[in-house]
Amino acid sequence: MMDIDLRSTMDIQITALEWMLRDDGRYVRYYPEAGRDVYLEQLPDGSLRVTPPEFHDEVMSIFEYPLNGVYCGDNKLLLRLREFYRRCWVMKLQDPYISLIITILTQNKTADSARRTFHKLQHRYNGIDVHKMAGADKKELEELIHYSGPYKAAYIIECSRQIIERWGGSLEWMKKVSTEEAREALLSLYGVGPKTADCVLLFSLGHSVTPVDTHICRVSQRLGLSTSTGDSEAAKRKVKEDLEKKHRIPGMAHLLIINLGRDFCKALVPLHHICPVEDICPKRGVVRPERLL
């Protein structure tokens, strides 16, 4: 039986946002080929249950390998995190167009908002693809994605049209070219910024890059993995350079940093007293006291 911590696995990856988290703690994904929702949940004994059961093998195949396999360097902090989050799994690479749309939906919004919006789109269009989105009615799309930002309807429609016009509707060719060429092509699309491009490169196209947002920036600085300060665009570029070139951290290893930031290294009140790396973390830039329980 696969030993998986479902929450840690599903909360930190763009790939997982195809699954909407319900109020009852179950994850649900719409499978357009079958025309139905499929549910995934973790039972009290740690096992995973898929409903309906005939989808079990297909659903379980999305879990590729444990997160403790993503880093083999000598950084003590990352080695400690690798062991701590050994039950978190890296998910199988998803379709690059789907990854692009989901990442656009996350721009300046929560993952939960993106999950709900994507699930709604999947139901409305019986599965989305580049041609459906290129031909979507803008006003209807604005209403469907309202909680993730109605202005993104223009991004989705226009970048879909560009993908069709430039590359015949597919991003798959980007798997076979250099990271620099693929990234430049993605950044040329309407509504696509650096983090969005990096998420697509990492979670869909197999390029080992590190997407950097405010959270990765903050935690990397506190851990001493980057010498940058603040969360400006220049600081984020420096963090990206330090992680990718100075420390040579594989792209998927940034999920270790995301998990730490979500669980312990909070923005305002870092939980030093229960943090798994407290004794070896330099706590660079931390000025506020921890929360006492």
pLDDT in tens, 204-261: 999 999 999 888 999 999 999 999 998 899 999 999 999 999 999 999 999 999 999 9
User: Are 82 and 152 members of one domain?
Assistant: no
CB 40 within 8 A of CB 48: yes
**Lowest mean pLDDT segment, chosen from 152-161, 255-264, 283-292:** 283-292
Long-range pairs for 113-119: beta carbons < 8 A, 24 or more residues apart: 113/147, 113/148, 114/17, 114/148, 115/17, 115/19, 115/20, 115/21, 116/20, 116/147, 117/144, 117/145, 117/147, 117/148, 118/17, 118/18, 118/20, 119/20, 119/28, 119/29, 119/30
The per-residue pLDDT for 1 is: 64
Instruction: Inform me whether the pLDDT recorded for 262 exceeds 70.
Output: yes
Q: In the predicted model, is pLDDT for residue 132 greater than 90? A: yes
The reply to whether 49 and 12 lie within a common domain is yes
For residue 292, what pLDDT band results from cuts at 50, 70 and 90? very low
pLDDT in tens, 13-54: 999 999 999 999 999 999 999 999 999 999 999 999 999 999
Is 284 a domain residue? no
Say what the pLDDT of residue 19 is. 97
- 127 and 50 in a single domain? The answer is no
Last residue of a domain, one of 203, 232, 250: 203
pLDDT band at 2; cut points 50, 70, 90: confident
> What is residue 288's predicted lDDT score, i.e. its pLDDT?
57
Residues 168 and 254 in one domain: no
> In the chain, how many domains are there?
3
Q: Is residue 124 part of a domain?
A: yes
Domain containing residue 121 = 96-203
64 has a pLDDT exceeding 90: yes
pTM, full prediction: 0.92
Of 185 and 268, the one with more pLDDT: 185
